[in-house]
Amino acid sequence: MRNRYLGLLPGLLVLLLLPLGPAAQNSTACARWCPPNSSCVDGTSCRCLPGFSSSSGSEIFTSLLESCDDINECGPPLTVSCGQSADCKNTEGSYYCMCIPGYALVSGAPTFRNESENMCQDVDECSSGQHRCHSSTVCSNTVGSYTCRCRRGWLPKPGFQDKRVTTVCEEIFATWTAPPGIKSQRLSHFFKRLQDLSENFSPASVQNTIQDLIQEVGDLLETPRDLETLPRSEQHFVATNLLFGLEDVLRGLSKALPNGPLTFSSPTGPALSLEVQDQGDRNITLIQNQTKMMLTWDTVHESGDSGPVVVGLISTPGMGKLLAEAPLVLDTEKQAVLHEAHKDLLQEIHPILLSDVISAFISNKNTQNLSSPVTFVFQHSVIPGPRQEVFCVFWEHGQNGNGHWATKGCRTVGTRDNSTTCQCTHLSAFAVLMVHYEVQEEDPALAVITYVGLGLSLLCLLLVALTFLLCKAIQNTSTSLHLQLSICLFLAHLLFLTAIDRTQIKVLCAIVAGALHYLYLAAFTWMLLEGLHLFLTARNLTVVNYSGVNRFMKWLMFPVGYGVPAVIVAISAATRPNLYGTPTRCWLHSEKGFKWGFLGPVCAIFSVNLALFLMTLWILKSKLSSLNSDMSTLQNTRMLTFKATAQLFILGCTWCLGILQVGPAAHVMAYLFTIINSLQGVFIFLVYCLLSQQVREQWRKWFKGSKKTKAESEKYMLSSGDMSDACRRSGEI
């Protein structure tokens, strides 16, 4: 049916044209049905515009079904020629020519029409600034393009290729300049040689460059010449420059090395050990001279960079000349340990370099906070003495270009005769320092007073304990307090004399410190109970029956006397057990206020005893003013007053003088403290035994009883002898 309708179209067109009349038959009229991109020839035909062609290929067409399509002059097939270094660009109904990238018309026009107009020439993108090279590369113009090549002494970063438009490079021979303000011909000559190495460097000769660099550094340290005449501060400035400059240059140069371990050395001393790896899962160990470095692969590769990873260890034995008398800055924790160990006796610190100065580096420059510590083992010929301590240190760069030894981030794992093991959480230049402490000799007179006084106290405390333990007739609450106080002080003084300086075995020293802590706290607690009992006794002087006071003290004294110190020591040991024992004494560390586990209760007890003493004196004063001429009562009251005064003197004054050992009077206070404290047992024996009438009576009974027993024994022996003689004579008869 569709074909039938198409057959009717010519007839329909004739009918449509009939109304036009004679004008439609005029040959000069324009056909209104011409398709787009065409023009009419006459009333019955059309022609396509230039750049277009009819669908039938006819120049003039009369069919209403024709269309004018764009002619692609740029082909294929190519109908026009733009010439060399140019491309044809088709447009609707036309075309134009354009220079290919990297070329441009001399006239500066963007386009042209044909080969005769072709004046394309090469564009220098490098000089015109039209290139896109990275700052680490140099632009090189080529015909119609450009390339980006690495700077001299640089290499493409992993994942990039040289002489590409997208090339990115990294520095291999790092810039190393002389420290400013240092006037030294020897140093100037060194940096002149360094500049020659940098200018002549090529990646192919990287191993020779490293060897020459190690040799130059060795020659400089072997013969420093005028560097030795510089002030110490300037020598330290030069050493800082050499340590960090050498590390940066070697870190860069090592990136051009092949995979595997490499070693470079110089006859003058410096040496370098390197390990270059693409990937790995093992620990890395480098040994150089007398130093070993151990670290994990994860620590090396944590930067996430692709490509080979480098680990290096440099030994510079001669660097110690430039680092002589360099200051040592201890971190806060080590300073506390130092002052705790030597207290006020410390005069001066002399750090001595025990090992070679070594520098450790890896590919990643950011090594200030490593995921796992790096271990170093240093060998040294000197064995530390009793007043010498070994520190693992690193050279810290100062803001003014200077430097100093520091311990932050490094710890000493252990020292065995001539080797020291260190662990550090960062990388830098490391060494082992031996610190010699100039310590004043302790006053020999104080030592003699201490040993003699404590010896007498031990004897007196033993007599007091035996007296109150064996004399059942005088046993009561008061004598029980005296007995427990004497036992605690006896054990504390005995342990102090025999084990206070046994610091060789740390565990044993910590146990001794804990035992002393407990025994002295227990002694002070019993002193508190003594003061409380004395106060209650004075308050109840008019009471004939003391049973209420006695029951209260019996119920209270043992749980308090031994339980409270045990709780305090248990809490201290559970929270900070490592602070029991110092490097020189088996006592409590002062670090983090740990000593207040002893001083706090002592000060509290002293304050309470002082308050009880004042109240006791007030009560006794009232009693003295109301007494009659009863001499026995007056005598007892005066004895209580004397004992109260002696109680305060014995129990409080000793430790109060110990706290007051500061300022100009420290020496005098030290003598008073030593004398009174060491003779505390003598004072207890004097007050509780010699001045006690009951004790003296018991002693007299002992002596009389022993004499009577001896006499009866002798009488028995004599009577036995007479009887045996009589029996012998009767036998003879």
Q: What is the DSSP string of 185-210?
A: HHHHHHHHHHHHHHHT--GGGHHHHH
Residues 86, 114: Cα–Cα separation, whole Å: 10
Q: Average pLDDT, stretch 514-530?
A: 90
Q: Is the pLDDT of residue 385 over 50?
A: yes
Q: Count of CB atoms within 10 A of residue 592's CB? A: 12
Q: What is the pLDDT of residues 711-731, one digit of tens each?
A: 444 443 434 344 344 434 433
User: What confidence category does residue 395 fall into, taking pLDDT thresholds of 50, 70 and 90?
Assistant: very high
CA distance 622 to 619: 5
Q: What is the pLDDT of residues 271-311, one digit of tens each?
A: 999 988 876 667 889 998 889 999 987 777 654 555 678 89
pLDDT band, residue 27 (cuts 50/70/90): very low
pLDDT category of residue 368 using cuts at 50, 70 and 90: confident
Total number of residues shown for the chain: 733
**Least confidently predicted of 184-188, 245-249, 529-533:** 529-533
By mean pLDDT, which of 188-202, 223-237, 463-477, 507-521 is the weakest? 463-477
Q: What is the pLDDT of residues 39-76, one digit of tens each?
A: 998 888 999 999 899 988 888 898 888 999 998 988 88
| pTM of the predicted model as reported, rounded to 2 decimal places | 0.51
End-to-end CA distance of the chain: 187
- For residue 580, give Cα distances in angstroms to 203, 342, 568, 573: 59, 16, 14, 8
Q: How far is CA 97 from CA 103, 437, 523, in A?
A: 12, 89, 110
Render 6-28 in DSSP notation, one character per residue.
HHHHHHHHHHHHGGGGGGGG-TT
Mean predicted confidence (pLDDT) in 339-368: 73
Please give the Cα distance from 437 to 347 (Å, whole number).
7
Place of tokens 């020459």: 212
Which position has the higher pLDDT, 96 or 645?
Answer: 96
79, 62 contact by CB (below 8 A)? no
Which pLDDT tens digit goes with each residue over 246-279?
999 998 888 888 888 999 999 988 999 998 887 6
Rounded (5°) CA angle 57-58-62? 125
> Residues 91, 108: contact at Cβ < 8 Å?
no
Regarding beta strands 103-105 and 120-122, do their DSSP bridges make them parallel or antiparallel, or are they unpaired? Answer: antiparallel
Whether cis (ω within 30° of 0) applies to the bond prior to 158 is: no
**Three-class DSSP category at 454:** helix
Cα 489 to Cα 495: distance, rounded to the nearest angstrom:
10
The residue with greater pLDDT, 651 or 403, is 403
Angle at 417 between CA 413 and CA 422, to 5 degrees: 20
Q: Is 567 exposed, middle or buried (0-12, 13-18, 19+ CB in 10 A)?
A: exposed
Mean of the per-residue pLDDT values of the chain: 80
pLDDT at 414: 87
Inter-residue contact 297 to 264 (CB < 8 Å): no
- pLDDT category, 518, cuts 50, 70, 90? very high
pLDDT of amino acid 1: 39
How far is Cα of residue 327 from the mean position of the Cα atoms in its chain? 19
Pick from 544, 512, 531: nearest CA to 643: 531
Alpha helices in 471-563 (DSSP H): 477-499, 506-539, 547-558
Band of residue 244 on the pLDDT scale cut at 50, 70, 90: very high
pLDDT at 392 over 90: yes
Report d(CA 68, CA 568) in Å as an integer: 108
- Tell me the C-alpha to C-alpha distance, in Å, between residue 562 and each of 519, 554, 693: 9, 13, 29
**Consecutive H or E run containing 144:** none
Is the peptide bond prior to 373 cis by the omega test (within 30 degrees of 0)?
Answer: no
* Dist CA 647 CA 258 (whole Å): 83
Count of CB atoms situated within 10 Å of the CB of 58: 14
Q: Find the mean pLDDT for residues 458-477.
A: 85
pLDDT at 424: 94
Under 8 Å between Cβ of 284 and 297: yes
The pair of three-digit structure tokens given for residue 719, joined into one six-digit string: 């009577």
CA–CA separation, 464 and 471 (whole Å):
11
Q: What is the largest CA-CA distance in the chain?
A: 209
Helix or strand holding residue 260 (H, E)? strand 260-265
By percentage, how much of the chain surpasses pLDDT 70? 78
Comparing CA positions, the residue from 321, 313, 408 lying closest to residue 362 is 313
Angle at 124 between CA 119 and CA 127, to 5 degrees: 140
CB of 43 closer than 8 Å to CB of 60: no
User: What does each C-alpha distance from 459 to 495, 652, 683 come to in angstroms?
Assistant: 14, 22, 12
For 312-330, what is each residue's pLDDT tens digit?
Answer: 999 999 999 999 888 888 8
Instruction: Establish how many alpha carbons lie within 13 A of residue 348's alpha carbon, considering only the half-sphere containing its beta carbon.
Output: 3
Of the candidates 361, 435, 363, which has an alpha carbon nearest to the alpha carbon of residue 393? 435
To which H or E segment does residue 232 belong? Answer: helix 232-253
Q: Which tens digit of pLDDT belongs to each residue from 533-552?
A: 878 777 776 454 455 556 66
Q: Which range, 12-21, 80-89, 441-450, has the best average confidence (pLDDT)?
A: 80-89
Mean pLDDT confidence for 657-661: 67
- Round to whole Å and give the CA distance between 516 and 495: 7
Q: Using alpha carbons only, how large is the chain's radius of gyration in Å?
A: 52
- The 3 state secondary structure assigned to 52-112 is EEECCCCCEECCCCCCEEECCCCCCCCCCCCCCCEEEEEECCEEEEEECCCEEECCCCCCE
Residue 172, pLDDT above cutoff 80:
yes
**Sign of the C-alpha dihedral, residues 475, 481, 485, 491?**
positive
Of the pLDDT bands very low, low, confident and very high (cuts 50, 70, 90), residue 623 is low
Cis ω on the peptide bond leading into residue 351 (within 30° of 0)?
no
Question: Position 123: which residue type?
Answer: V
Residue 120 in this model has a pLDDT that exceeds 80: yes
What distance in Å separates the CA atoms of residue 236 and residue 282, rounded to the nearest whole number?
Answer: 38
Residue with tokens 């007179």: 445
Confidence check: pLDDT of 520 > 80: yes
Going from the C-alpha of 378 to that of each of 265, 307, 424, 426, 433, the distances in angstroms are: 19, 31, 13, 17, 11
Name which of 289, 606, 334, 268 is nearest 431 in CA terms: 289
Q: Tell me: pLDDT of 437 over 80.
A: no
Token pair listed for 143: 């015909």
Measured CA to CA, the distance from residue 33 to residue 29 in angstroms comes to: 12
347 pLDDT higher than 50: no
Q: Which residue has the tokens 């240190």?
A: 393
